C-alpha cells in the first residue's frame, strides 16, 4: 500500500515512485508535517526531521511548561488561540463565546481506493488499486467534536488530495466560521507564488511573485463565479524552476464558489499554505449529530518543472474528474450563432446558417440566447424556459429535427441560475431572487440571481428545462451565467443561517447539474460564465468543457489558453473561430490564425459562414478536415507542452505529442511582424531522440489575400504549398525548427501563425 503507519515513531508515510508526504503525531496529540516533496525510501523513523525551537526569553506562550511552541511548529491543521499566532485553518465559535479549540489525535484508518465526498464533486478512482486513502480522526473533548482529515495518494500520479470533515457530537451547537480544506507547511520561504489572474475577456493570465515575510493571497468573493478574477489554483515554484526543470507544488481547488488561497511566511521563514472556502460571509452551524464536509484540494508535486505539473493535472482531471459518456470522446466541431445573429433571428435565418455549416463539415449547430419567453434583448425573458413561437413556430422540438435533417446535431444555450424582473417567473415569484428586503437590488445585464439555496427554486428550474430536453433532439447544452452575486441573502433563511447561503447556492448548482446529467447522459454540457469566469475543476465534474473566454480574438486567446493550460486539459477549453473585426477588440486577424489557436481546444465557429468569401470557405473546409484528422491526438491522446510564453515574448508556441511519441502538432504564433528580424528557432519537447520524423507545414498565403498577391508569391491555397523535411527527434528538440519569416509574412505578418505536423517515419 502507498500509505504506511510506523507505530513506534507515530509517523504516517504517504508515498509512491514520485512523491512523499510525512505526518508525525506529536506528544501533545497534534499533527506536524515532517516532509513534502520528491519520493523518499520508506523506513521506520523520520522524526529527526521535526524541527524544534529551543530559544528562551521569548514572548511566545505555551499551554503548559515544557510543551511545544506551536508558533514555530509545522502543523497539519493549525488553530488559533493556544500559542500559534499565524492564520488558522479552523475557527469554531462556541456558545460560551470562545473560539479556542484543541483537536488531538484519536485514531486513523487506511483503506484502498477513494470515497466520494457527496454532495461535493471530487476526483475518483475506477478500481481500488489506483489509490490509497488515509483518514486521521482528531477530537476536541470540550466541544465533543471530531475532525477527520482525509488524504488520498494516487498510485501512478504525484498527486495527493485533501479534505476535512467535521462531526459534532456535543449537546451544545457550534458554528464553523473557517474551515480550510488543506494546510501545508514548508520549512523555508524560497518560493515564487504563481497564480492565474485577470478579468472578463482576459481570464487566467500568468502572474508570479516572490514570497517574502507576510501573507500573499488570492480570493474570490463573487459567490457564483470562482475564477474570472482569480482562479482557484496556486503553484509554489522554486525560483530556478522552469517549464522543464525544478520543483513545483501545485494546489487546485475543486469548488465553484468563494475561496481563498494564501501563503503566509513567518518571521522564521516557515511558509504556511492554505486553501479552502473563503471565510468572509461564511458560517455553518452544527447541532449534535450533524456534519460539515469541505471541498477537495488536489496537490501535485513536480521536480521536472511547470509542464510536468500541468500534464499531471491534465491526465488526472480528464480521466478521473470528468465523468460520463464524453469523458474519453473527442468533441464535435460546432457552429454557434451568437456572433452571427445575436437576438436578431428567426427559424429561416438559423436554418440557412446551419445548412452552410453542414456543407463545410460542421457537426453541431448551437442556438444561443434569444429562443425563449419574450427574449428579444437582455432586458427580459430570463427564467421563462419555454420557446418563443413567434421566432420559432416549430418550437425547439421542430427546429432541432430540421437541423438534424441537414445531417448535423443540435445544441441549445441556457442561463438557468438567473432571472430578469421582466419575466413571468419573477412576476410569479419575486421572493425567489437573492436580495435583502428594504434594500436596493443590484443587477448586471438587467438580471438577478435566483436563490439556488432553496430546493423549490432548483426543482422548478429543473422541471422547466428538463421538459424542453425531453421533447427535443438536443445533443449539447451551453450553460451560461452572466453576473457575480450581490446581496447574498435568502428571504426564507433564519438570521443565523445567512452564512450558509453562498455555499448552499453552489450545492444547489451542483444538484441541478447532477440531476440533468443523470437524466440526459448523452448530452454534452459546456459550462460558461460570462465566458470563462467559472472555469474550475468542480465544473468539469459535471460539464467536461468550459467556454474559455468571451474574448475570441486569436492573439488574446493565445494568452488566455496558455494560462488555462497550467491546470486544465486542452479538451476542456471551449475555443472558436469568430468573425472579424473581432467583436471584443475590433482587431482583424487572419482566419488561418484564428483556427490555429482554436485547434488547441474544443474547436468550432462563431460566425455566419454565408458571409465568407469563396477562398475563406475553402480554408474553413481545410481547417475542419485538419481538426477531424488530429482531434483525437490534441484532445484525448496527447501530452501538451508549453514551448514559448506569450507573456514574455512577441512569439508564443505550444505542442501536443502522442503517447507513443510518433506524432505531434505544433502551434507557433507571432504578434507583431518585425522588419529585417533576426533568425528564430523553436525547440520542441516530448519527442523520441532516436526517431526520424517528417516535419511538414503549409506555406500558402492567407485566404484573404487577393489573387494578384497569391500569384506574386507563386502559391495557391492547395496541397502543393506543403513544405516538409526530415529530422531526428534530438535535432528537433535541441537544435530546433527554423522559423521562416517569409512564411509568416505570407500568412499576414502581424498576428500570423504556423501549424507544424510532426510524424514518425
Active site residues: 480, 550
Q: What are the C-alpha distances in Å from 108 to residues 16, 136, 340, 370?
A: 20, 4, 59, 55
Q: Do 139 and 101 touch, CB atoms closer than 8 A?
A: no
The dihedral sign for the CA sequence 235, 240, 242, 248: negative
For residue 425, which of 483, 367, 452, 464 has the smallest C-alpha distance? 464
Length of the chain: 761
Residue 427's φ and ψ, nearest 5 degrees, are -60, -35
Cβ of 507: how many Cβ atoms within 10 Å? 17
Q: How would you classify the pairing of strands 448-449 and 145-154?
A: unpaired
Q: Which residues contact 438 (CB under 8 A, 6 or more apart)?
A: none
Which cell is 570 given? Answer: 486542452
For residue 221, which of 174, 282, 136, 176 has the smallest C-alpha distance? 282
Within 531-570, where are the H helices? 537-542, 554-564
**Sheet with 577-578, side-by-side order of all strands:** 573-574, 545-547, 524-527, 476-479, 409-414, 364-367, 334-336, 604-606, 577-578
For residue 465, which of 526, 370, 385 has the smallest C-alpha distance? 385
Within 267-346, where are the H helices? 305-320, 338-341
What DSSP designation does 700 have? Answer: P
Q: What are the C-alpha distances in Å from 250 to residues 163, 301, 546, 599?
A: 16, 6, 21, 27
Q: From CA 565, how far away is CA 667, in angstroms rounded?
A: 14
Give me the half-sphere count of Cα atoms (radius 13 Å) on the Cβ side of residue 382.
26
Q: Do 3 and 149 touch, CB atoms closer than 8 A?
A: no
Which cell is 388 given? Answer: 418563443
Determine which helix (DSSP H) or strand (DSSP E) holds 218, and give its type and residue range. Answer: strand 214-220
End-to-end CA distance of the chain: 42
Q: From CA 598, how far away is CA 602, in angstroms rounded?
A: 7
For residue 385, which of 417, 361, 408, 362 has the smallest C-alpha distance? 417
Own/partner contacts of 431-438, CB < 8 Å, gap of 24 or more, are 431/491, 431/492, 432/457, 434/485, 434/486, 434/487, 434/488, 434/489, 434/490, 434/501, 434/505, 435/487, 435/489, 435/491, 436/487, 436/489, 437/491
Cβ of 488: how many Cβ atoms within 10 Å? 21
Amino acid at each position: 500500500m502507498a500509505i504506511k503507519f510506523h507505530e513506534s515513531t507515530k509517523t504516517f508515510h504517504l508515498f509512491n515512485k514520485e512523491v512523499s508526504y510525512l505526518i508525525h503525531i506529536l506528544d501533545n496529540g497534534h499533527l506536524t508535517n515532517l516532509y513534502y516533496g520528491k519520493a523518499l525510501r520508506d523506513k521506520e523513523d523520520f522524526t529527526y526531521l521535526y524541527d524544534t525551537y529551543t530559544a528562551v526569553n521569548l514572548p511566545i506562550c505555551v499551554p503548559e511548561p515544557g510543551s511545544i511552541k506551536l508558533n514555530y511548529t509545522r502543523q497539519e491543521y493549525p488553530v488559533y488561540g493556544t500559542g500559534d499566532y499565524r492564520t488558522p485553518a479552523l475557527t469554531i465559535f462556541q456558545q460560551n463565546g470562545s473560539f479556542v479549540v484543541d483537536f488531538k489525535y484519536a485514531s486513523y484508518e487506511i483503506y484502498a481506493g477513494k470515497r466520494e465526498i457527496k454532495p461535493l464533486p471530487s476526483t475518483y478512482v475506477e478500481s481500488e488499486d489506483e489509490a490509497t486513502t488515509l483518514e486521521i480522526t482528531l477530537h476536541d473533548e470540550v466541544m465533543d467534536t471530531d475532525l477527520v482529515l482525509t488524504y488520498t495518494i494516487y498510485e501512478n500520479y504525484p498527486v495527493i488530495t485533501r479534505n476535512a470533515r467535521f462531526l459534532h457530537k456535543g449537546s451544545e451547537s457550534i458554528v464553523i466560521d473557517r474551515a480550510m480544506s488543506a494546510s501545508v507547511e514548508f520549512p523555508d520561504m524560497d518560493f515564487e507564488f504563481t497564480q492565474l489572474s485577470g478579468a472578463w475577456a482576459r481570464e487566467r493570465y500568468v502572474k508570479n511573485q516572490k514570497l517574502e515575510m507576510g501573507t500573499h493571497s488570492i480570493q474570490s468573493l463573487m459567490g457564483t463565479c470562482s475564477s474570472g478574477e482569480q482562479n482557484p489554483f496556486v503553484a509554489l515554484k522554486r525560483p530556478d524552476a522552469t517549464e522543464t526543470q525544478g520543483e513545483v507544488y501545485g494546489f487546485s481547488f475543486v469548488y465553484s464558489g468563494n475561496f481563498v488561497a494564501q501563503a503566509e511566511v513567518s518571521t522564521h521563514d516557515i511558509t504556511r499554505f492554505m486553501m479552502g472556502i473563503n471565510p468572509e460571509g461564511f458560517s455553518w452551524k452544527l447541532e449534535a449529530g450533524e456534519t460539515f464536509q469541505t471541498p477537495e484540494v488536489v496537490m501535485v508535486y513536480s521536480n521536472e518543472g511547470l509542464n510536468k505539473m500541468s500534464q499531471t493535472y491534465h491526465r488526472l482531471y480528464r480521466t478521473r474528474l470528468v465523468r460520463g459518456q464524453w469523458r474519453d470522446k473527442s468533441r464535435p466541431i460546432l457552429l454557434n450563432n451568437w456572433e452571427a445573429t445575436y437576438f436578431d433571428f428567426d427559424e429561416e435565418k438559423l436554418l440557412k446558417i446551419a445548412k452552410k455549416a453542414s456543407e463545410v463539415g460542421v457537426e453541431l449547430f448551437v442556438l444561443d440566447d434569444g429562443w425563449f419567453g419574450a427574449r428579444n434583448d437582455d432586458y427580459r425573458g430570463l427564467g421563462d424556459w419555454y420557446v418563443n413561437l413567434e421566432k420559432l413556430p416549430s418550437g425547439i422540438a421542430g427546429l432541432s429535427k430540421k437541423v438534424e435533417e441537414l445531417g448535423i446535431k443540435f445544441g441549445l444555450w441556457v442561463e438557468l441560475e438567473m432571472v430578469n424582473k421582466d419575466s413571468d417567473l419573477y412576476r410569479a415569484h419575486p421572493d425567489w431572487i437573492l436580495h435583502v428586503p428594504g434594500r436596493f437590488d443590484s443587477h448586471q445585464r438587467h438580471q438577478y440571481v435566483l436563490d439556488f439555496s432553496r430546493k423549490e427554486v432548483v426543482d422548478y428550474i429543473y422541471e422547466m428545462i428538463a421538459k424542453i430536453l425531453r421533447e427535443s433532439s438536443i445533443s449539447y447544452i451551453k450553460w451560461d451565467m452572466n453576473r457575480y452575486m450581490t446581496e447574498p441573502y435568502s428571504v426564507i433563511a433564519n438570521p443565523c443561517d445567512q452564512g450558509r447561503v453562498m455555499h448552499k447556492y453552489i450545492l444547489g448548482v451542483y444538484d441541478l447539474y447532477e440531476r440533468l446529467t443523470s437524466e440526459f447522459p448523452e448530452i454534452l454540457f459546456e459550462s460558461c460564465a460570462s465566458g470563462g469566469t467559472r472555469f474550475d475543476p468542480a465544473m468539469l465534474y459535471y460539464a467536461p468543457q468550459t467556454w474559455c473566454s468571451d474574448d475570441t480574438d486569436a492573439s488574446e486567446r493565445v494568452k488566455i489558453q496558455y494560462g488555462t493550460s497550467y491546470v486544465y486539459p486542452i479538451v476542456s477549453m471551449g475555443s472558436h473561430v469568430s468573425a472579424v473585426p473581432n467583436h471584443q477588440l475590433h482587431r482583424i486577424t487572419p482566419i488561418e490564425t484564428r483556427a490555429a489557436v482554436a485547434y488547441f481546444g474544443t474547436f468550432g465557429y462563431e460566425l455566419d459562414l454565408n458571409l465568407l468569401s469563396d477562398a475563406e470557405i475553402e480554408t474553413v473546409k481545410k481547417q475542419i478536415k485538419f481538426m477531424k484528422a488530429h482531434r483525437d491526438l490534441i484532445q484525448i491522446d496527447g501530452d501538451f507542452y508549453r514551448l514559448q510564453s506569450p507573456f514574455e515574448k512577441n512569439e508564443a508556441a505550444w505542442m501536443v505529442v502522442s503517447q507513443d511519441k510518433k506524432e505531434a502538432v505544433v502551434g507557433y504564433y507571432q504578434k507583431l511582424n518585425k522588419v529585417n528580424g533576426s533568425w528564430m528557432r523553436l525547440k520542441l519537447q516530448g519527442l523520441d531522440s532516436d526517431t526520424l520524423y517528417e516535419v511538414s507545414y503549409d506555406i500558402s498565403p492567407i485566404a484573404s489575400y487577393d489573387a494578384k498577391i497569391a500569384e506574386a508569391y507563386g502559391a495557391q491555397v492547395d496541397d502543393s504549398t506543403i513544405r516538409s523535411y526530415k529530422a531526428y527527434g534530438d535535432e528537433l528538440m535541441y537544435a530546433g525548427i527554423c522559423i521562416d519569416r517569409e512564411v509568416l509574412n505570407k500568412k499576414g505578418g502581424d498576428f500570423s501563425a504556423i501549424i507544424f505536423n510532426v510524424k514518425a517515419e
